[in-house]
Amino acid sequence: MDDRRARWEAVRLAAAGCQDCPLWEIGTQTVFGAGPVDAGIMFVGEAPGRLEDESGQPFVGPAGQLFDRALLDAQIDRSRVYVTNTVKHRPSVASPGGRKNRAPKQSEITACAQWLDREIAIIQPRIICCLGAVAAKRLLGKDFALMKRRGEWLESDIAPHVLATVHPSFVMLQRNNAEADWYGVLVSDLVRVRDRSLEIMA
């Protein structure tokens, strides 16, 4: 356990100085993953937002707060899971009100791949849950169709049990009843993660 923590800390420090893509020039800091280094469940999102960029912690902004609520409703303890992103610096563009988030480019995803791969290699999660299409395509292949295969348990070399679901930010973009409906979809998929973890980690 101490050796795993030391290896994780070494990778985190190396990632903090990463300049392999232009995002380091516009981001405040690297936002590395957080959680127990022996976590059985890993959640992989897309990229940091403004509050993540400022704090250096993943999933602490509005989407992170919705994610926390969904975890609570699914009876998953966030303190016992590992949470990270596909890209470790915030992708953003200038706007009249400051900078606004944008989707990461493929070149940025490719440049950042080493850090996510090393996190997975150190944590060795039994379950990986991809939050959104960016994470799913990065880990399951560029042709992965999220809306067709969402909620399925998938075979993969990266972990024994992999499932992809919608990103919390997608839920937040919905209007009227659609937001509640998609929140229910997210929670139901997280319940599948919880149930599988109880089956294989009991």
Name beta bridge partners: 101.
92
149: CATH: 3.40.470.10
Give the other-Cβ count within 10 Å of 23's Cβ: 24
**Residue range(s) defining the domain that contains residue 142:** 2-200
User: Is beta strand 98-101 parallel, antiparallel or unpaired with respect to 92-95?
Assistant: antiparallel
Q: Provide the whole-model pTM.
A: 0.96
Q: What is the pLDDT of residue 18?
A: 94
pLDDT at position 1 over 80: no
Q: What is the number of structural domains in the chain? A: 1
131: left (phi over 0), alpha (psi -120 to 50) or beta: beta
Tokens standing for 82? 């590992």
Q: Where are the alpha helices (DSSP H) in 17-167?
A: 23-26, 50-55, 62-73, 106-123, 133-140, 146-149
pLDDT at position 42 over 70: yes
Distance (Å, rounded) from C-alpha 130 to C-alpha 128? 6
Q: What is the pLDDT of residue 65?
A: 97
pLDDT band for 39, please (50, 70, 90 cuts).
very high
* CA dihedral of residues 73, 160, 44, 150 (deg, nearest 10): -70
Instruction: Return mean pLDDT, the chain.
Output: 95
